[in-house]
Each structure stands twice: as C-alpha cells, then as structure tokens.
C-alpha cells in the first residue's frame, strides 16, 4: 500500500477574509474594471445582475405531504446573447452563490467568445434524501415557475451539482408541454435521444485538462508523467481523472466529500469509479492510503485540480500549497487573498472562468444544433472544444502579459472588456 506524508491541517476559515462568493465575484470585476478604466455608469451596469427571481416550489412528497422548497434563477448579463447557466440542487445553496455563479458564467462565455450571457439557478434541497419521483416533481414545478424567464432565446438551463441529463429532460418536457411544441433548445446537457450531445457530460472536464496541458507548456513541463491531485470525484473530477490518465499523467490523489485516496504510483480511474459506484466513496479504495481533503490540497504534485465546491483555497491554507500548477475546475475555489499568495509563490493558477469554460462551449454547440433542427451526430466535437480552449488560453496569456498581470486578472480583463464593448455598442433603451 502506498504511503502519504501528512501535512499539518490548516484552520478552516481565516477571519480576515470575506468568503461570500458574490462579493468575491464583484471584487474580481472591480479589478478588471480598473485595468480597463471603465466609466462609472458602465461599471454599475455590468456589476449587478439584470434579473433575480425567487420562487416557492410546492412538491407533493412520497408520503403525500406537501413540502415547499425555495428556488432561484439569476440572469447576470445578456448583452452578448441569451443567458446560459446551470441548475444546482443543494441543501446549502444561497442566493449570493447563485448570483456569483451567474456572474462567472457571463465572463466564461465572453472569454471563449461564445454569444451567451450568464445565468444560474437552483433549488435549496437535499436531493440525496429524495426519491426519483420526488426529484421529477420538484424539477417540473421548478421549470413551471421559471416559464416567464427561460427559453431557447432568453435563458438556457444546464446541469450542475446534483442535476443531470434526466433533470434537463424533465425541464425540457415541462417547458415544451407548456408551449405546445417541442423545444429542445431550452436546455443543454440533455439525453442524446432528445437532441443532446454525446460529449456534453465530459466537456467541462475536457476543457480543464486542455487548460492544464497548456499550463504545462507555460511551465515547460510535460503533462505525460506529471503528478496530479484532484479534489472532488463527481461529474467533473471523475472525468478529469480519466482524461488525465489517457494523456499518461499520473493521478496520485482523488477525493470526495468523505475524504480521499492516495497512491504515489497512480490511481486507475476506472477502478476508482467502480469502487465509488459500489461504496459511495473513494475512501478505502484498495491499494491506496487515506487522506483528508485538506491533506490532498497540500500534497506535493505538479498539478492540483480543485473540482468540488468554492472557497477550497483561502488565506488559511494558500501558503501550504505545493503544486506547481493549479487548475480551477470548480467555480470560485480560490479567494482573492489566496490568489495573491499563490502568485507570489510562483504557482501558475488557471482561473475558473477559463479552466471551466468547456461546458459553456459544448452547450453552445448543442444549442446551435437544436435551433437548426439538426439530428445528425456531431463530428469532431471534442476537437472543436479543444481548439476553443487552446485559443482562449493563448488570448488570456497575451492579455495578462500586456497588462503585467497574472492569469486570473488577464482572464477577467479579456472577458469584462468584451462584455463592456458589447454593452457600449448597444447603448440604452429607451
């Protein structure tokens, strides 16, 4: 069995930091606005969400009792195209989190030059304690309550944490029934049988791996044989594990909400997936040592991939990170203060709005096919996605070098600049 050197556990939260995700998103925007010297009116327009909707969602549970859930949909900005963003089911979901995610979606779409704006939504619930029938009723009622603000040309929904292609199928069917005709373009990430894309499920992870490959070139190291640690073994982290292995990188650590598994010689992604499917966790996987999520983040490795929830890296643990490259496959995993610590220490950080942009690009490909009415299978979808990601990475590097900034700043400047240019060109109505 492999052994792992245990790092001292950091304090969970630094009292000096504001960990509110929307405040962080606004701070990142303010930085880019300063670089771009945007005027006050344009800053105000781009800084706040365009629309925020909160709804009550009554659902009949399997025990015949009615439970009322709270749902949200936020449209941050739509000057470059319809809003596009995930639908998250989580017990700890907050409105500020949804606002932040919608904001980051605006910048993601602009960064890869996709004509979408940013949206995000979700429901406060614990899907792990709900039956499939209850989740279907919840999803359909959520879609019904969202009818005034969603649509193929206004706001396109996508899967996120604890939602999947089946969730999107329920939402699409509800929307289509309400409008009297099939409308597959209201969602992306749906089943292939309903007009979905075969590669959509792995798109976010594929984009992150391509970004990691480009980051390795910046550091002049080879991805082949590079050691990789992945925090989060869900829909993104598990696929990233497989894609890294296909590129002959050595995934030495993986984790989920219960803890992690470590093997210095590498972890087989297929065996890890089968073990998690059987036990519900990667902890205790044969041939590995146990470690905590905090210990995984502090491992000495070439590439660290936070692919779970936000605020994984803060002032409390930024000085313990030993990776050479950090690729943010999750949304908002690093606080602004931690950003600066990592930059000073020479760790190359690929920001979430770049590393996580593969999903929005693939969603766009699916949406275009749906609007065209094409039922033919996509050709070279993975290659198209990789081309988009490599181009975006090169543009971010060029922008960062132009402004003498790190990659987070370069990405924000490029994305905010594109949205600001579109907003200024459109003007105000009336």
- Concatenating the DSSP letter of every residue in 235-277 gives TTHHHHHHHHHHTT-EEEEEEETTEEEE-TT---HHHHHHHHH
Q: What is the pLDDT of residues 152-182, one digit of tens each?
A: 999 999 999 999 999 999 999 999 999 999 9
User: Quick one: average pLDDT of 348-365?
Assistant: 97
Lowest mean pLDDT among 315-319, 365-369, 371-375, 404-408: 371-375
The CA distance from 282 to 303, in Å, is 20
The CA distance from 173 to 156, in Å, is 14
User: Quick one: average pLDDT of 263-277?
Assistant: 97
- pLDDT the model gives residue 201: 87
CB 355 within 8 A of CB 332: no
Specify the DSSP element, H or E, that contains 89: strand 83-90
pLDDT band of residue 312 (cuts 50, 70, 90) is very high
Task: Tell me: pLDDT of 3 over 70.
Answer: no
Q: What is the pLDDT of residues 216-248, one digit of tens each?
A: 999 999 999 999 999 999 999 999 999 999 999
Q: What is the pLDDT of residues 331-355, one digit of tens each?
A: 999 999 999 999 999 999 999 999 9
The CA distance from 234 to 161, in Å, is 9
Could you tell me the pTM of the whole model? 0.94
pLDDT band of residue 377 (cuts 50, 70, 90) is low
Per-domain residue ranges of the chain:
48-191, 203-355
| CATH match for 203-355 among 3.40.718.10, 3.40.50.720, 3.20.20.140, 3.10.450.630 | 3.40.50.720
- pLDDT the model gives residue 392: 98
Q: For the chain, what is the mean pLDDT? A: 94
The CA distance from 222 to 224, in Å, is 5
- pLDDT the model gives residue 200: 86
Specify the DSSP element, H or E, that contains 56: strand 51-60
pLDDT band of residue 14 (cuts 50, 70, 90) is very low
Domain boundaries 48-191, corresponding CATH code: 3.40.50.10860
Instruction: Give 181: exposed, middle or buried? Use CB within 10 Å, 0-12, 13-18, 19+.
Output: exposed
CB 415 within 8 A of CB 111: yes
CB 86 within 8 A of CB 158: yes
Q: Do domains 48-191 and 203-355 have the same CATH topology?
A: yes
- pLDDT the model gives residue 381: 85
Distances (CA, A) of 369 to 105, 224, 365, 366: 21, 35, 6, 5
Task: Tell me: pLDDT of 6 over 70.
Answer: no
pLDDT band of residue 375 (cuts 50, 70, 90) is low
The CA distance from 22 to 312, in Å, is 16
The CA distance from 214 to 240, in Å, is 15
CA dihedral 208, 211, 213, 219 (to 10 degrees): -130
- pLDDT the model gives residue 324: 98
């Amino acid at each position: 069995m492999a052994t792992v050197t245990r790092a001292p556990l950091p304090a969970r939260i630094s009292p000096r930091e504001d960990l509110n995700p929307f405040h962080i998103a606004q701070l990142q925007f303010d930085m880019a606005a300063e670089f771009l010297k945007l005027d006050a009116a344009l800053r105000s327009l781009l800084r706040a969400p365009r629309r925020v909707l909160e709804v009550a969602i009554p659902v009949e549970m399997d025990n015949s009792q009615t439970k009322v859930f709270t749902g949200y949909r936020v449209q941050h900005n739509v000057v470059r195209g319809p809003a596009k963003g995930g639908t998250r089911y989580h017990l700890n979901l907050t409105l500020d989190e949804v606002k932040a995610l919608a904001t980051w979606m605006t910048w993601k779409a602009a960064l890869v030059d996709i004509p979408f704006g940013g949206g995000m939504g979700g429901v406060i619930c614990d899907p792990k304690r709900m039956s499939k029938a209850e989740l279907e009723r919840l999803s359909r009622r959520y879609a019904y309550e969202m009818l005034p603000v969603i649509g193929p040309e206004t706001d396109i929904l996508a899967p996120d944490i604890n939602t999947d292609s089946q969730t999107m199928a329920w939402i699409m069917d509800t929307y289509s029934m309400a409008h009297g005709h099939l409308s597959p373009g209201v969602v992306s990430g749906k089943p292939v049988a309903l007009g979905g894309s075969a590669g959509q499920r792995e798109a976010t992870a594929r984009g992150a791996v391509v970004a990691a490959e480009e980051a390795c070139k910046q550091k002049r190291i080879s991805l082949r044989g590079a050691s990789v640690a992945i925090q989060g073994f869900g829909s993104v982290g598990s696929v990233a594990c497989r894609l890294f292995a296909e590129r002959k990188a050595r995934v030495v650590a993986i984790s989920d909400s219960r803890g992690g598994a470590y093997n210095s010689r590498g972890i087989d992604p297929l065996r890890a997936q089968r073990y998690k499917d059987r036990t519900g966790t990667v902890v205790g996987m044969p041939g590995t040592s146990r470690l905590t999520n905090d210990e995984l983040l502090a491992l000495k490795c070439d590439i660290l991939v936070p692919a779970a929830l936000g605020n994984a890296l803060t002032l409390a643990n930024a000085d313990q990170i030993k990776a050479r490259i950090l690729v943010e496959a999750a949304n908002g995993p690093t606080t602004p203060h931690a950003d600066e610590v990592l930059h000073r220490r020479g760790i190359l950080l690929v920001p979430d709005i770049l590393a996580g942009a593969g999903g929005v690009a693939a969603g766009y490909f699916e949406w275009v096919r749906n609007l065209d009415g094409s039922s033919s299978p996509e050709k070279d979808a993975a290659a198209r996605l990789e081309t988009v990601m490599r181009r975006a990475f090169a543009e971010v590097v060029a922008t960062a070098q132009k402004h003498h900034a790190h990659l987070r700043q370069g990405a924000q400047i490029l994305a905010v600049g594109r949205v600001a240019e579109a907003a200024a060109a459109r003007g105000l109505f009336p």
